[in-house]
Every structure is written in C-alpha cells, then in structure tokens.
Structure 1
Amino acid sequence: MDSNTDGQPYLRGHDCNVTIDKAGATSYECINGQNHLLPIANVGRIMKQALPNNARISKPAKETMQECASEFISFVTEEATEQCRKEKRKTINGDDICSAMKTLGLDEYADAMKRYLCRYREHEEKATSMKRNKPAQINVRNELPVFRSNQYRDRSPSKSPCNVAKEKKFL
C-alpha cells in the first residue's frame, strides 16, 4: 500500500475508497468492475479466431478470459509504469511494455512484442512517407511462437530493416 498526494493510502492498480471509522478500523472499497475489463465482445472475437469455425465458446469461458487478459494487461502496465516512474517519465511507450515483459520473465512475449513493434513502426514510416494515414494491419499471430505453423506463417522471411538488423547482430 502506498500513499497518494493527500497522504491517504491507496492500493496500487486499483481505484479504491479508503474509510477509517471512529474505532480506527480501516476498510477498502475497490472498484474492480467493468471499468477495468476489456470489452467482452472483443475478447470473444479474439478467442474465436484461435479456434476452429465450428467451435462454441461459453459465456463463463469468455468472462474468465476477459478477467485474465485484463489482469495480465494491468500486471504488465503496472511494471512499465513503475519503470517510467523511476526514470521520471510520465508516458509509457511500446519499448517500456517490452522491457516490463522481460523484467517479469515473459521473454517470449517480449520478443514477439518487440518484433511487432518494429513492424508497426516500419508501417507507420511508410504510411507517413506515402502521405497515407491507414492504420497498421499486422498479424500478431505471426509473432507468437504458439501460432508459428504453416497455416499461420508466411513461408518467406521478411527482409524488413528489423530482420536485417537482427541478422547483422548475430553475424
């Protein structure tokens, strides 16, 4: 537990109301509701993409995945925020997220996220140079080892600056 600027205690990562009664007992009422959860329709859509077309997903399964994914994001974001705080910065960026994942022992996710981030930045540079502002269309599945099979992965390796830099690093 930390203290906020008013000297009142708060729980990191949660919106909490702290009350102290006349006897000195402290109680915490945290808002852990819908405000901190990913939209369930989006979670369900992502789950469906990873399953065969004829698969069905129960509502409790979607809700559980919604809670887990939301907690995961909060967990990584809190670590990235802490790193920014130590560096006296107020804004977290993609590199901070990758670093936080590594710090938390999520190296495979961090490496996949780093590749995704590099490709995203390449796309943004191309879009800017062509004076087009289309959003990036990158398949995250190609970056995660779990999905690296012939059905999801492009057979020819990309010769993007990210991959070329990586190849030079290992030579």
Structure 2
Amino acid sequence: MSRDLNFSGFSQLGRLQPMQSFPRTPPSSSTSVSKDGDGGASGQDNLLPIANVGRIMKDGLPPQAKISKRAKETIQECATEFISFVTGEASERCRRERRKTVNGDDICHAMRTLGLDHYADAMRRYLQRYRESEELAASLNNNNGGAGGRGAIQIDVRAELSIFRGNQQQQGRNT
C-alpha cells in the first residue's frame, strides 16, 4: 500500500508555485514583518515550522548543547529550500506523466536526477521499509478483525544513511 505525499506548494495543475524569496537577514526586533490578509506573516508562509526544525537539530546534539536562534533560522531556510528543490523536480516528472499526485517514488527519482544518489538510495530503502511496515500493520489489523489500535512500527531514518552509520561506528571506537 503506497502513501502519497501532499505538498501545499502545488497548484491544481501539479506545478510547484514559486517560493517567496528568503530575506537576507531574518526578521528580528529591528525588522518588522507585515501581516497579510490571511493573518500569516508574509515571507514566512512557506517555511518549515521553526520549533520542529529546532527539535530535529537538538536530536543530533548532546543534551547540554544549545542552538542559537540564527542557526535554527538558517537550517529552516536551507531545509525548506531543499524540500522545494526536490519537490519541484518530482512535480515536473508528474506533470510530464500527466499525474496530479507526487509519491515517494517520484521523490526518489527527483533526488537521483538532481545528483543526490546517496540520499535517493537511503530514501528508497526507507520507503521500502515503510511500505513493508504498512502492509504488516494492515495484515495485523485484518487478522484482529480491526479491533484495537494500530501497532506502532518505527523505522530509523538515520540508520538508512551511511553517513550516520560511519559516525556511530567511529563513536563506538572512541568510547
């Protein structure tokens, strides 16, 4: 069973809408951010939530480490741009094939097309394990007659990237 990804940056034709350019300096007390008609801050609507970015950054650091606001904002902008870049390529593939829904295979193909083979391989393995876990959960639910909650099956994304494997092995040797 395949899950499709739904990105809010797509128009009805399946094309990626242009992202608003990021300001060279982040909004601060000296820079006022005007509100648009929808109540959102203009220029910030397409960015990933800063709290989520900070939480993910903190996961990779020792517990006592601190992360500056500027570092979080920089990663927020870079991650948002990266997602937009890959998603735009995947969207273009869907447009060429006259499909309206971007799926995980499209993301993997886009990463390969953009020269991100290392990430595409990790994403492909993650996607395969995710689909297997979904099938397992569905079969468990069917065997239980639909009673009870879904079994939580976790997949470690970091384990799929050899970059993290190398770091973990090196840390194991150092301890």
TM-score, scaled relative to structure 1: 0.69
Equivalent residue, structure 2, for 1:163: none
Pairing 1:86-97 to 2, within 5 Å after superposition: 86-97=96-107
1:148 and 2:165 are equivalent in the alignment: yes
Distance 1:62 1:150, change over 3 A: closer
Aligned-partner Cα distance in 2 for 1:15–1:70: 11
Q: Answer yes or no: is the 8 Å Cα contact 1:13–1:74 preserved in 2.
A: no
Aligned-partner Cα distance in 2 for 1:150–1:50: 11
Identity of aligned residues (%): 65
Pairing 1:16-95 to 2, within 5 Å after superposition: 33-95=43-105
Give 1:125's match in structure 2, choosing from 122, 135, 160: 135
Post-superposition offset of 1:149: 3.9
Higher relative contact order (CA 8 A, sep 6+): 2
Aligned-partner Cα distance in 2 for 1:67–1:53: 24
Post-superposition offset of 1:113: 0.3
Residue type of the partner of 2:100? K
Aligned-partner Cα distance in 1 for 2:122–2:62: 24
Q: Which has the larger radius of gyration?
A: 1
Where does structure 2 lack aligned partners over 5 or more consecutive residues? 1-10, 22-40, 142-148, 170-175
Q: Answer yes or no: is the 8 Å Cα contact 1:80–1:96 preserved in 2.
A: yes
Give 1:14's match in structure 2, choosing from 11, 19, 22: 19
Aligned-partner Cα distance in 2 for 1:109–1:150: 16
The CA RMSD over aligned residues, in Å, is 2.5
Where is the strand percentage greater, Structure 1 or Structure 2?
1
Post-superposition offset of 1:151: 4.0
Aligned-partner Cα distance in 1 for 2:133–2:49: 27
Post-superposition offset of 1:33: 2.0
Post-superposition offset of 1:136: 4.3
Aligned-partner Cα distance in 2 for 1:150–1:144: 10
Where does structure 1 lack aligned partners over 5 or more consecutive residues? 6-10, 17-30, 153-171
